Chain A
Amino acid sequence: QTVVTQEPSLTVSPGGTVTLTCASSTGAITSGYYPNWFQQKPGQAPRALIFSTSNRQSWTPARFSGSLLGGKAALTLSGALPEDEADYYCLLYFGGARVFGGGTKLTVL
């Protein structure tokens, strides 16, 4: 069974930059995996941030960016704000099926 791996937790200082990554047990991630990124705050439904590797949703702040980095999908937050503290999940496409990563708990401290 395919496993998608994210960092369990990361901490970033206010105003700082952090990169979250998403790796697949099948090998290097390419744009063909259509990486998506979602943010979930406590007690709320998730919301989409990035789709198809690097496309921001209309509501996604410009401080969030998506890319491919060293065979992984990456979400970079530049200029972190306290409100960015949340869980972040990636989702990959595997020829029909999709698989979520385990999520990264991001603390802004």
Chain B
Amino acid sequence: EVQLIQSGAEVKEPGTTVKISCKGSSYTFTDSYVHWVQQAPGKGLEWMGLVDPENGETTFAENFQDRVTMTADMSTATAYMALNNLRSEDTAIYYCVVSFARGWSWGQGTLVTVSS
């Protein structure tokens, strides 16, 4: 069974950067895309972007492209998402999600709270 384990909850001050990790197992890391999804409290899902672990290529949603970085480390089967210049509206759960031939699997989510 595919497993995605994300790093723990974070509390950040406005203007700083958060970096979340997502470690995959039980599938071929380089045969997938790793997506990141934001869910603000009580709101729907918003696709932020993806990274191709095989070559590091990224595609970002317009709303995040100026503030987000996504990377993947093949040696550890771990993907990372960094969001900079945090503001209160970035308070949300962030999910990593992999898409591959057998479908999609979700991580457990990481709560990021932005507060001074």
Chain A positions near chain B (C-beta within 8 angstroms): 1, 36, 38, 40, 45-48, 51, 55, 57-58, 87, 89, 91, 96-103
Other-chain residue from A47, A48, A97, A103 in contact with B45 (beta carbon distance below 8 A): A103
Flag whether B29 is at the interface (Cβ < 8 A): no
Give CA–CA (A89, B37) in the complex, Å: 12
How many B residues touch A, CB cutoff 8 Å?
21
Complex Cα distance, B60 from A96, in Å, reads: 9
* Complex alpha-carbon distance, A84 and B106, angstroms: 19
User: Which applies to chain A's interface (DSSP): helix, strand, loop or mixed?
Assistant: strand
Instruction: Known A48-B103, A51-B104, A57-B103; judge A99-B47 contact (CB<8 A).
Output: yes
B46 vs chain A, min Cβ distance (A): 6
- Give the A-B pair count, Cβ closer than 8 A: 53
Determine the residue in chain B with the shortest Cβ distance to A91.
B47
Q: Do residues B105 and A48 form an inter-chain contact, with CB atoms below 8 A?
A: yes
Check A89–B45 contact: CB distance below 8 A. Answer: yes
Q: Which residue in chain B gives the minimum CB-CB distance to A34?
A: B99
Residues of B within 8 A of A103 (CB): 44-45
A51 CA to B47 CA, complexed, in Å: 16
Taking A87-B44, A97-B61 as known contacts, 8 extra A-B pairs with beta carbons closer than 8 A to each other, sorted by chain A number, are: A47-B106, A57-B103, A57-B104, A89-B44, A91-B47, A98-B50, A100-B45, A102-B44
Among B47, B99, B105, B106, which residue has its beta carbon within 8 angstroms of that of A97? B47
What does the 1/0 interface line of B41-64 toward A look like (CB < 8 Å)? 000111100100000000111100
